């Protein structure tokens, strides 16, 4: 008999994750605001649902991969939300990038409803999701983490446990996105400095990516920034800005002054204000620095 999972959110990330679950033998009860996105999935192994509640009915696990706190909250506690139908002891595996406060709030509601909430945000672009190369951070009840583990193992190359406080993994995710943004800004500044001093951006990027900064972040994004290659749009500047806001808000909530958060937040706010919100966030950083430098 096929194992069933509720799956909510078929964006660039979600669609690839859903495919991996299907190929591992799961049957998915899928919900997406534009349900025709589900046509990309093998029809034999999915059930299209009209609401998050429907997707959550009768399954041991429901996964959410949504764009922001508000959407997740509505999908969970709204009139047709997950909690309406989630059966006792079922686990909501929450993989979106959201604030730890939202995680705590939702976890409490699940507990009250007799079900479980697991924070499980991921690192990786859509290609990584497709290749099952996501890094998955989890936090929450130990037993719940064990229950969810086989599902998570279908989605990523590693699961990292950040304790039993439910918001912990979300903090790590926000901190990591901040570090990525800071890296984009840093490279845009460094390569523009090199360019204005007569050097070749690509050569400089290649040097750093193959020596001191030989990590994927610097290699992959480094090439895009060096070549001012801002298309196709992989991750929109306005979504990056949303993440910068999460980082800023967390720095406020935990009283942690972070000057670099100011910088990346301003950079992306400027991108949005200039009308680049739907362009790639790399353009927000790269073009932002270039324009300020008059090149």
By annotation, the residues acting in catalysis are: 173
Running DSSP on this structure, what letter comes out for residue 137? Answer: E
Here's the x/- map for a second copy, 112-151, by CB under 8 A: it reads as -----------x-----------x-x--------------
Q: Do 48 and 27 meet the contact criterion of CB atoms below 8 Å apart?
A: no
Among 149, 199, 233, 278, binds a second copy (CB under 8 A): 199
Q: Do 13 and 131 meet the contact criterion of CB atoms below 8 Å apart?
A: no
Residue for token pair 């070549």: 227
Taking CB under 8 A as the rule, does residue 21 contact a second copy?
A: no
Question: Which residue stretch of 62-70, 80-88, 107-115, 210-218 sits at the interface with a second copy (rule: CB under 8 A)?
Answer: 210-218
Taking CB under 8 A as the rule, does residue 272 contact a second copy?
A: yes
Question: Which residue stretch of 16-24, 41-49, 112-120, 189-197 sits at the interface with a second copy (rule: CB under 8 A)?
Answer: 189-197
Show the CA angle centred on residue 126, arms to residues 120 and 130, nearest 5°: 90
Q: Which is nearer to a second copy, 4 or 133 (CB)?
A: 133
Least CB distance from residue 234 to a second copy, whole Å?
16
Contact positions with a second copy (CB under 8 A) in 30-49: none
Taking CB under 8 A as the rule, does residue 217 contact a second copy?
A: yes
Taking CB under 8 A as the rule, does residue 50 contact a second copy?
A: no
Contact positions with a second copy (CB under 8 A) in 159-188: 160, 162-163, 165, 167-168, 171-172, 174-176, 178-180, 182-183, 185-187
**Which residues sit opposite 236 in a β-bridge?**
280
Q: Which of 104, 23, 22, 8 is nearest to 56 (CA)?
A: 8
**Which residues sit opposite 139 in a β-bridge?**
119
Question: Which residue stretch of 45-53, 54-62, 75-83, 261-269 sits at the interface with a second copy (rule: CB under 8 A)?
Answer: 261-269
Least CB distance from residue 54 to a second copy, whole Å?
33
Taking CB under 8 A as the rule, does residue 232 contact a second copy?
A: no
Contact positions with a second copy (CB under 8 A) in 72-101: 100
Count the alpha carbons within 13 Å of 185 in the hemisphere toward its beta carbon. Answer: 19
Work out whether the CA dihedral 264, 266, 269, 271 comes out positive or negative: negative
Q: Which is nearer to a second copy, 27 or 104 (CB)?
A: 104
**Which residues sit opposite 123 in a β-bridge?**
135
What is the C-alpha to C-alpha distance for residues 229 and 282, in angstroms, rounded to an integer?
8
How far CA 209 is from CA of 9, 39, 107, 158, 214, in Å, comes to: 34, 39, 40, 24, 4
């Amino acid at each position: 008999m096929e194992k069933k999972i509720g799956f909510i959110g078929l964006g660039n990330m979600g669609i690839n994750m859903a495919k991996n679950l299907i190929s591992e033998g799961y049957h998915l009860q899928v919900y997406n605001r534009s349900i025709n996105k589900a046509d990309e999935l093998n029809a034999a192994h999915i059930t299209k649902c009209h609401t998050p509640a429907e997707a959550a009915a009768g399954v041991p696990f429901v996964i959410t991969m949504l764009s922001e706190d508000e959407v997740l909250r509505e999908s969970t506690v709204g009139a047709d939300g997950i909690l309406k139908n989630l059966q006792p002891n079922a686990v909501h595996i929450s993989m979106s990038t959201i604030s730890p406060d939202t995680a705590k709030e939702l976890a409490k509601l699940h507990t009250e409803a007799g079900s479980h909430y697991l924070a499980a945000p991921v690192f990786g672009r859509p290609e990584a999701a497709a290749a099952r190369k996501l890094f998955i951070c989890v936090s929450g009840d130990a037993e719940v983490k064990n229950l969810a583990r086989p599902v998570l193992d279908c989605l990523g190359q590693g699961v990292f446990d950040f304790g039993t406080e439910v918001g912990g993994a979300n903090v790590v995710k926000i901190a990591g996105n901040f570090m990525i943004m800071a890296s984009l800004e840093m490279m845009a500044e460094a390569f523009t400095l090199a360019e204005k001093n007569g050097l070749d951006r690509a050569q400089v990027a290649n040097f750093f990516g193959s020596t001191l900064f030989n990590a994927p972040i610097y290699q992959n994004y480094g090439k895009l920034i060096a070549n001012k290659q801002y298309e196709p749009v992989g991750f929109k500047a306005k979504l990056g800005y949303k993440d910068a806001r999460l980082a800023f808000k967390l720095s406020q909530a935990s009283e942690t002054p972070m000057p670099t958060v100011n910088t990346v937040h301003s950079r992306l706010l400027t991108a949005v204000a200039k009308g680049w919100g739907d362009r790639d966030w790399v353009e927000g950083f790269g073009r932002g620095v270039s324009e300020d430098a008059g090149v």
